[in-house]
Amino acid sequence: MSKQDSQTVIARCRELAAISEMSGGTFRTFLSPAMRRCYEVIGEWMKRAGMTVRLDPAGNLRGLRAGLHPGKGVLLMGSHLDTVRDAGAFDGILGVILAIAIVENLQPEPLPFDLEVIGFCEEEGVRYVPFIGSRALIGTLDEQTLKRTDSAGITMADAITNFGLDPAEIPKAALKTPALGFLEFHIEQGPVLDAAGESVGIVTSIAGQNHALVKFVGSANHAGTTPMHLRRDALSAAAQWIVTVEDSARSTPGLVATIGQISLQPSISNVIPGEVTMSLDVRHAENQVRIAGLNAIHQSAKEISHQRGLELLWTDGLKMNTVQMDDNLTGILSAASPEGTRRMASGAGHDAMILAPHIPSAMLFLRSPGGISHHPSETVLPRDVDLALEIGQRFIESMRKS
């Protein structure tokens, strides 16, 4: 058996990028026909690496390499197979393909534990909600979520049935064997490693986040007849607030705050905007700092709306606390990595953040050249992939001895 290196890993990721729901770009969503094809191709590679392959009832692709005492303990490796629209070739899938190559490169003697490579069916949340695959694995995919509909009105339960799986069996996707740990490789999706000229980084935590829907309500009126001092312009208030949001984040190290969506009513050139609705996304690696930042941003919205005689409607959305990676497993990953490898928080959510509260989890970032992700020009450097393969191999070697 020839040793798998970065060339194979990158070629496989590129091959999978062509399996898509759109022409001329990469796009794979939960249980789509492209996903079925993806399962077939990756399933073959898993078999070639000596794994037995199954699709669990939630649609996670799972390759198992039994150890000396099957069912006694399992080390999990993997990431997600779905993508955003017009995605790159490496977000998610690299973590699955690297894991398969690491398994293929192992000596034929069985390990003291089982090894399972998981390709999660869904992480990006494009068709339904994020983290369907990892939630099924830890047994927290509930009935309510199965009733969610996609843009075509198909419930998640029906999508599972239509694919040939049984939603009633989803509890069987949950992990039965005690897990020794979960190791996820993922591209950084940010510019930190690239800017520092570093190949890989060890993730210590995944930043928590708060979302809110923020609405300023003033009054729409004629743009020609309403003097400036008698206006209640919702967009001017929003503009002022957006700048304070940026100022708050800039003045707090590590805090990031984003208004990514904005809509105004009535949105007519000769009418003063009466209502502006915005999304807010606030993240920080430490919960207290994130909450303090969010409170300051909320306070400034109150003050601005008060000064301008507007009404503020603030609706809290998603709240996720920071998730710490496992100290012990992260220590093993650190020891398997070159000396001085950077430790860093992840600003983006990953499957590891769903698994970490239940299974000791560790995560390795690979540099994203140009910091680019969720875009066709997303890439990886062969030397970084080769290093990740070596780190993975050393990681399993230390697990064998521990």
| Contact in structure between 173 and 58 (CB atoms under 8 Å) | yes
In terms of CB distance, is 63 or 349 closer to Zn ion? 349
Quote the least distance from Cβ 145 to Zn ion, whole Å.
Answer: 20
In terms of CB distance, is 192 or 271 closer to Zn ion? 192
In terms of CB distance, is 59 or 274 closer to Zn ion? 59
Using rule CB under 5 A, residue 91 touches Zn ion: yes
Residues touching Zn ion, count (CB under 5 A): 2
Quote the least distance from Cβ 83 to Zn ion, whole Å.
Answer: 8
Using rule CB under 5 A, residue 92 touches Zn ion: yes
Quote the least distance from Cβ 227 to Zn ion, whole Å.
Answer: 52
Using rule CB under 5 A, residue 95 touches Zn ion: no
Q: Closest-CB residue for Zn ion? A: 92
* Sequential DSSP letters for 247-285: HHHHTSTT-EEE---EEEES--TTB---EEEEEEEEEES
Using rule CB under 5 A, residue 56 touches Zn ion: no
| Contact in structure between 180 and 172 (CB atoms under 8 Å) | no
| Contact in structure between 280 and 214 (CB atoms under 8 Å) | yes
Which of the stretches 12-20, 92-100, 291-299, 312-320 binds Zn ion when contact is defined by CB under 5 A?
92-100
Quote the least distance from Cβ 123 to Zn ion, whole Å.
Answer: 6
Using rule CB under 5 A, residue 190 touches Zn ion: no
3-state secondary structure of 159: helix
Quote the least distance from Cβ 31 to Zn ion, whole Å.
Answer: 18
Q: What CA dihedral angle connects 141, 57, 8 and 52, to 10 degrees?
A: 130
Quote the least distance from Cβ 124 to Zn ion, whole Å.
Answer: 7
What SS3 string covers 189-217?
A: CCCHHHHHCCCEEEEEEECEEEEEEEEEE
Which of the stretches 83-91, 221-229, 278-286, 374-382 binds Zn ion when contact is defined by CB under 5 A?
83-91
Q: Taking CA 93 as the corner, what is the angle to CA 53 and CA 361, rounded to the nearest 5 degrees?
A: 80
d(CA 14, CA 377): 12
Report the interface residues with Zn ion, using CB under 5 A: 91-92
